[in-house]
Structure 1
Amino acid sequence: MLMQASRTHLSIDSGQHSLAGRKSENQDFHGAVVPEGQALVHKGIAFVIADGISSSPVARVAAETAVKSFLDDYYCTSDAWLVKTAASRVIAATNSWLFDQSRRAGGSGDSGYVCTFSALVLKGRKAHLFHAGDSRIWRLAGQSLEQLTDDHRVQVSPDENYLGRALGLSQSVEIDYLAADLRPGDVFVLTTDGVHDFLTPQRIAAEIVRAESLETAAGKIVDQALEAGSTDNLTIQIVRIAALPDPAAPEMLADEQALPPAPLPRVPGYFEGYRLLRGLHASSRSHIYLAEDETSGEQVALKFPSIDLRGDADYLRRFAMEEWIARRMASAHVLKAASYPQGRQSLFLASEFVEGQTLRQWMLDNPHPDLETVRGLLEQIVKGLHAFHRKEMVHQDLRPENIMIDTSGTVKIIDFGSVRIAGVMEAAPALDRAEILGTHQYTAPEVFLGYLGTELSDLFSLGVIAYEMLTGRLPYGAAVARATSAKAQAALRYRSASAITTRVPDWVDGALCRAVHPVPGKRHEALSAFLEDLRRPNPAYTSGTFVPLAERDPVRFWQLVSAALALLCAALFVQLFGNP
């Protein structure tokens, strides 16, 4: 099998061969998927090999199920997930099914649905290895093979050993994972023990190097192992990296990247199947209009790219990616993408129209909200953030302007131009530049130090919003944006919310303080934990431990110190220059 090399695509050459050998049935199973288009970019190429245990009458079924399930289900997982996340979840589900089948059939480990498992996923410029059992994954190294996986066999005596780890052996399985950088010309080899127990790594490597094709090499290696006395099933897969994607030109989107930026439309007017009604919002980064689908009559919001940024390739990529993100979200609290009545001839975005107001406007209209109302809004925002985080996405620009409240009171997160997508960045690491894409007042301090945004960064932004909703101020003022060094961030001092308003109890203040801590590891471990601390007093914040005023409210502390000094100076002045 040969994929033609391309400047911007991963391409490989491969060969595979499997044989029952001296056994009546081949209990090994193997497979591969070499997709095209966006599946190749977002999911990569997968090779899988499995070896059913010889003592089981259903070993072949177990091996076949493991391979087919992985190759089918892995490509159905979210494109936004990391390879490790997607593969691990698929493997865990397969393991549970195999174990359950054994339990239903009353079979033990020796006679159940049990098999070894090794998978190689090639995505972008990295190889991802997943392994359990004693099948192996190797890499060609000079005149020999480098073993990349460990055999999970337990040696009881020189003559007795057993499989310590495999799919279907127990309710859960520990899978070894390894990621390795790829180079053109790299060769990976997957084998079952019927091959590698009877041929040395040097002999396998020599055959690969001198063979006319990898398919020929695979067949000859299996034949040589059989001649060397192999008594087991024999399977081998060989993969050579022919070309790697260009890191400077990742094709992360299908058609959108080829579309020219849409011109700004006339309002009122018509544009590509829509009737433009009025403008909704305009900024230096985009223009948004209310429009009506000429076919269905549905009202939608149309977003057009900025005139000034149309020459910025990174901006246009992020702009196009917003729809990619929206179409993969399923939450009542995240803005939904809309369909296009005539397809698209230019780059613009269509989404549901949310009739309502931004959280910013709501805050202006409700400067002194009660705590329960704030809790309710925050809980809806967290539901929207959970939808992002389940897809391994970080919003990175959570702020009152990017949160809408519709006429029914439903909160929706909007604007996905700053979202970091783990799976996309994995496929195109050159795009992951740790840029500060969000609004500085709400951006987590670690981002200013060059670290990538995480779920805890979104928690910080949420904490700032919660603080602002309750107090009308920011917990550190404008100091966070200026704190671009670890020393400066260590000097940040939280201003107590309960010192600003009596509507914030001390224990709620403690929850806010923790959520916006400058150090990510000192924040809540999850969004749900923050919400819990806003609902129920946490003993950690109500322990009665004395906290100095200088720490609780440094501004008030220094105000009091200044006032005391002023009074002292006045008293001294009177004493020195007053009437005798």
Structure 2
Amino acid sequence: MNAPQPAMDKQIHPQGKFKLSVGQHSVAGRKAQNEDAIGIRIPDGNLLSTKGAAAVIADGVSAAEAGKEASHTCVSSFLSDYFSTPETWSVKQSGAQVLTALNRWLYSRGRGFNDNSKGYITTMSTVIFKSHTAHIFHVGDSRIYRLREGTLEQLTTDHSTPVSQDHAYLARAMGLDVRLDVDYQTAPLQSEDIFLQTTDGVHDVLGPHAIQHILEAPGITLDKRCEQLVEVALHKGSTDNLSCQLLRVDELPDAQVDDVLNQFSQLQFPPLLEPGMSLDGYRIMRELQGGTRSHLYQVEDMASGAHYCMKTPSANFARDPVYIDRFVLESWIGSRINSPYVVKVVEPHRPKSCLYYLTEYVQGMTLSQWMREHPKPAVEEAVFLIDQIARGIRALHRRETLHQNIKPDNILIDGNGQVKIMDFSACHMAGIAETATPAQGNLTPGSASYFAPEYTLHKTTNYRADLFSLAVISYEMFTGQLPFGGVLEHCKSQRDFLATSYTHSYKLNPLVPHWIDCALKKALRFEEERRHGDVAEFVYELQHPNPRYLEYHQRPLMERDPLKAWKIIAGILALSQAASLILLLR
């Protein structure tokens, strides 16, 4: 009879000598639903060296209306977005910016509730293993412990204030306030270190000695130890959801792995590329666009034959750290947008030898070219394209990102009529802006002919700025001309803008219905609060006649435009008096 085999932990060692064993467990306990969320991600290849391995635990606040959605969003989004941050960013910078963006999203969603404490609120604790260091991000009252050489140490501090013997309230949490205060610390790693993450359903009823006793139990897997922690906590009367994670460092990578990290943070600018040259396994087919700030090439993957666009920085800025940071940030922002109406940033399959990024290659034409070929298109065809552009803008806005450079040259149309927005160089991301990234503070929006007046007047901008740009493009598509006689780029002050005159689109193109012109005029208001609420509302009014606009044009001229009516009356009276005078003189 064979002897029983010892239980084995799930060992993960995707690169070199770096070996981890992991386990986790989560149950609803005595509650109707489980508002906890847990997740572990250990990537393969260079990503393990540049970003590390991450474990996240979150406990949705039961008193909040959307605690479960908040906790699950935090875990899934962090494990996705953190590993999409630029390789040149530190763990602290990457984690802080992702957490800030997440908090802004949760807080904005929670503003729909009358009581701020009833929104999308959750605790969140994260440990990231990178090289020989553990990086810890913590907000709320979940906990992270470390067991080393027989000593269990609590590494985090609970952000809660007791109000009685049995109750406490959270002083800090994700989604609780627009400003996020996260505890960040680092701890050196040693082989055989065990890290434990728990929600309060476990550690509120289990003391340190009971926890350590289970962690040191011989002959059982980390998964089984997690299950035992939960079972014992339930037996001791826990009334909350119960979740825990265990990560054991079985073997650390060689110290030389830090050299790889330095290499990524000091990537050189590529040379000026020409057709026929190759870079990191990509053959340069042709230059698509060249300028003083960047270069864009069509390239072919020499291994797969797939075609991509490669964007490289300009050598003019090789010594400009703000430009370099902005260029790296540009690719990361693009990688977070997943929409068929936005050009997709592609993750390269091979290590980079220099600074660049790849996007999908779209075979077609820009909207500028399309408008030259279709100077006055059918209204339905223009609305069809405008709707697609708006969908792309909405995808950016859902990620709290302003494009800030919506113009015809940055909109591609493929052979099937599919629209794709490109160029993330001017994008403004709310969450990243809060962390005071230097690159965010030096942004210049796009072409003055298309951007909203609030940029020129240095006012606060929001999503309606992109709406204004879309309205300018829409007007141009319908009429073949820019609104306000094309003078917006020359306006430098409030007085300049007020001196402009709007020309009705149906006067330049009689096929444009009056109600569409009303929608255009509203979206082109210089005061952003007088525009539509968002691009979706604007497009809806292009597709569905607004009864108010129809009623407006059916009202007498004296009600619609009293000044114009009186001018006409005065003109008629003047003519009649002149005619009477002529008759008298005869």
Q: TM-score w.r.t. structure 1 length?
A: 0.58
Which residue does 2:302 correspond to in 1?
Answer: 294
Shift of 1:436: 2.9
Residues 82 and 341 from structure 1, CA distance in 2 versus in 1: closer, same or farther, beyond 3 angstroms?
closer
Q: Which amino acid aligns with 1:543?
A: E
Shift of 1:325: 2.4
1:82 aligns with 2:101: yes
Which residue does 1:463 correspond to in 2?
Answer: 471
1:521 aligns with 2:529: yes
Which residue does 1:141 correspond to in 2?
Answer: none
Deviations along 1:445-495, one digit per CA (max 9) or x if unpaired, are 112222354221111111000000111111124433343434443444322
Deviations along 1:281-331, one digit per CA (max 9) or x if unpaired, are 222222222221111111222222223333333332222223212322221
Which residue does 2:411 correspond to in 1?
Answer: 403
Q: Which amino acid aligns with 1:284?
A: T
In the TM superposition, 1:472-511 aligns within 5 A as 472-511=480-519
1:423 aligns with 2:431: yes
Which residue does 2:332 correspond to in 1?
Answer: 324
1:535 aligns with 2:538: no
1:265 aligns with 2:284: no
Which residue does 1:96 correspond to in 2?
Answer: none
Shift of 1:370: 0.6
Deviations along 1:213-237, one digit per CA (max 9) or x if unpaired, are xxxxxxxxxxxxxxxxxxx99xxxx
SS of match in other structure, 2:483:
coil
Q: Which amino acid aligns with 1:470?
A: F
Shift of 1:68: 7.8
In the TM superposition, 1:241-390 aligns within 5 A as 257-390=265-398
Cα separation, 1, equivalents of 2:547 and 2:262: 52
In the TM superposition, 1:190-201 aligns within 5 A as none
Which residue does 2:453 correspond to in 1?
Answer: 445
Answer yes or no: is the 8 Å Cα contact 2:57–2:75 preserved in 1: no
1:179 aligns with 2:187: no
Deviations along 1:122-180, one digit per CA (max 9) or x if unpaired, are 9xxxx99789xxxxxxxxxxxxxxx99897x9xxxxxxx99999xxxxxxxx9753636
Shift of 1:534: 0.6
Residue from 396, 411, 420 that aligns with 1:412: 420
Shift of 1:431: 4.2
Answer yes or no: is the 8 Å Cα contact 1:118–1:130 preserved in 2: yes
Q: Which amino acid aligns with 1:322?
A: E
1:392 aligns with 2:392: no
SS of match in other structure, 1:427:
coil
Q: Which amino acid aligns with 1:177?
A: D
Shift of 1:548: 8.0
Q: Which amino acid aligns with 1:493?
A: S
Answer yes or no: is the 8 Å Cα contact 2:160–2:169 preserved in 1: no
Shift of 1:433: 2.8
Shift of 1:498: 1.4
Residues 353 and 69 from structure 1, CA distance in 2 versus in 1: closer, same or farther, beyond 3 angstroms?
closer
SS of match in other structure, 1:179:
coil
Answer yes or no: is the 8 Å Cα contact 1:257–1:317 preserved in 2: no
Answer yes or no: is the 8 Å Cα contact 1:443–1:460 preserved in 2: yes
Shift of 1:259: 1.5
Answer yes or no: is the 8 Å Cα contact 1:394–1:419 preserved in 2: yes
Answer yes or no: is the 8 Å Cα contact 2:406–2:446 preserved in 1: yes
Answer yes or no: is the 8 Å Cα contact 1:399–1:442 preserved in 2: yes
Answer yes or no: is the 8 Å Cα contact 2:411–2:419 preserved in 1: yes
Q: Which amino acid aligns with 2:272?
A: L
In the TM superposition, 1:197-208 aligns within 5 A as none
SS of match in other structure, 2:336:
coil
Cα separation, 1, equivalents of 2:465 and 2:273: 37
Residues 328 and 83 from structure 1, CA distance in 2 versus in 1: closer, same or farther, beyond 3 angstroms?
closer
Cα separation, 2, equivalents of 1:493 and 1:39: 58
Which residue does 2:152 correspond to in 1?
Answer: none
Where structure 1 has 5 or more consecutive residues not aligned to the other structure, the ranges are 1-28, 54-63, 93-113, 132-146, 154-160, 166-173, 186-190, 193-231, 234-252, 576-580
Answer yes or no: is the 8 Å Cα contact 1:448–1:484 preserved in 2: yes
Residues 419 and 456 from structure 1, CA distance in 2 versus in 1: closer, same or farther, beyond 3 angstroms?
same
Aligned residues between the structures: 416
Q: Which amino acid aligns with 1:508?
A: I
Deviations along 1:397-434, one digit per CA (max 9) or x if unpaired, are 01000001111211111111111122222333554437
Residues 403 and 67 from structure 1, CA distance in 2 versus in 1: closer, same or farther, beyond 3 angstroms?
closer
Residues 86 and 515 from structure 1, CA distance in 2 versus in 1: closer, same or farther, beyond 3 angstroms?
closer
Shift of 1:393: 1.1
Answer yes or no: is the 8 Å Cα contact 1:496–1:552 preserved in 2: no
Residues 380 and 130 from structure 1, CA distance in 2 versus in 1: closer, same or farther, beyond 3 angstroms?
farther
Q: Which amino acid aligns with 1:522?
A: R
Cα separation, 1, equivalents of 2:557 and 2:263: 58
Q: Which amino acid aligns with 1:84?
A: N
Which residue does 2:94 correspond to in 1?
Answer: none
Cα separation, 1, equivalents of 2:333 and 2:175: 30
Residues 295 and 531 from structure 1, CA distance in 2 versus in 1: closer, same or farther, beyond 3 angstroms?
same
Answer yes or no: is the 8 Å Cα contact 2:405–2:427 preserved in 1: yes
Q: TM-score w.r.t. structure 2 length?
A: 0.57
Deviates most, 305-314 or 391-400: 305-314
Answer yes or no: is the 8 Å Cα contact 1:74–1:87 preserved in 2: no
Deviations along 1:532-561, one digit per CA (max 9) or x if unpaired, are 11112112222234568998999xx99x9x
Cα separation, 2, equivalents of 1:504 and 1:300: 39
Residues 459 and 71 from structure 1, CA distance in 2 versus in 1: closer, same or farther, beyond 3 angstroms?
closer
Cα separation, 2, equivalents of 1:51 and 1:461: 40
Residues 299 and 86 from structure 1, CA distance in 2 versus in 1: closer, same or farther, beyond 3 angstroms?
same
Deviations along 1:185-225, one digit per CA (max 9) or x if unpaired, are 9xxxxx99xxxxxxxxxxxxxxxxxxxxxxxxxxxxxxxxx
Shift of 1:355: 0.9
Answer yes or no: is the 8 Å Cα contact 2:346–2:359 preserved in 1: yes
TM-align CA RMSD: 5.5
Residues 510 and 129 from structure 1, CA distance in 2 versus in 1: closer, same or farther, beyond 3 angstroms?
farther
